[in-house]
């Protein structure tokens, strides 16, 4: 396999379509469509996702988690979720060749905001924990 080839995603995960240009450029991202009460996503860390030390760049993990939490807020509320605040605690390091998995769930939702928590991990070893506040906007028909 070439260094930039992506192996088959973990069982139950499929390519996530319909992402914006920034996320499409950073991806590809995969998701588990079978989960109803939270969002589950993954990406395969490529060399281009890493810093000069060969570790997954914190900006990559942050961008992944931002999209993951927004997806959880959107799924739970049927609204478009836009980031108002994001807090990331980095706990460990990942490397190229790792499948980075993420889960997020809404902890509280009001009429126009949602509070969401999540994590990114590799083989159940947490890379980061995250919490966020999202503005909920009605979807246009």
pLDDT tens digits for range 72-102: 999 999 999 999 999 999 999 999 999 999 9
Domain ranges of the chain: 14-137
- The topology under which CATH files domain 14-137 is Thiol Ester Dehydrase; Chain A (3.10.129)
- Number of neighbours of residue 38 by Cβ within 10 angstroms: 18
Whole-prediction pTM value? 0.93
Q: 34-75 pLDDT, tens per residue?
A: 988 899 999 999 999 999 999 999 999 999 999 999 999 999
Q: What is the DSSP letter of 49?
A: G
Q: Tokens 């190229």 identify what position?
A: 96
Kindly list the distances between the CA atom of residue 122 and the CA atoms of 5, 81, 104, in Å, as whole numbers in the listed order. 19, 26, 15
- Please state, in angstroms and rounded to a whole number, the distance separating the CA atoms of residues 38 and 118: 9
Contact 33, 76 (CB under 8 A): no
């Amino acid at each position: 396999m070439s260094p930039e080839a992506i192996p088959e995603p973990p069982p139950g995960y499929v390519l996530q379509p319909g992402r914006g240009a920034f996320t499409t450029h950073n991806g590809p991202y995969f998701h588990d469509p079978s989960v109803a009460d939270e969002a589950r996503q993954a990406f395969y860390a490529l060399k281009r996702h890493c810093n000069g030390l060969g570790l997954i760049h914190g900006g990559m993990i942050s961008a992944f988690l931002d999209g993951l939490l927004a997806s959880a807020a959107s799924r739970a509320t049927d609204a478009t979720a836009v980031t108002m605040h994001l807090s990331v605690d980095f706990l460990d390091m990942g490397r190229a060749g790792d499948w980075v998995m993420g889960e997020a769930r809404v902890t509280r939702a009001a009429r126009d905001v949602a509070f969401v928590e999540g994590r990114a991990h590799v083989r159940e070893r947490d890379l980061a924990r995250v919490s966020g506040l999202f503005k909920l906007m009605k979807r246009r028909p």
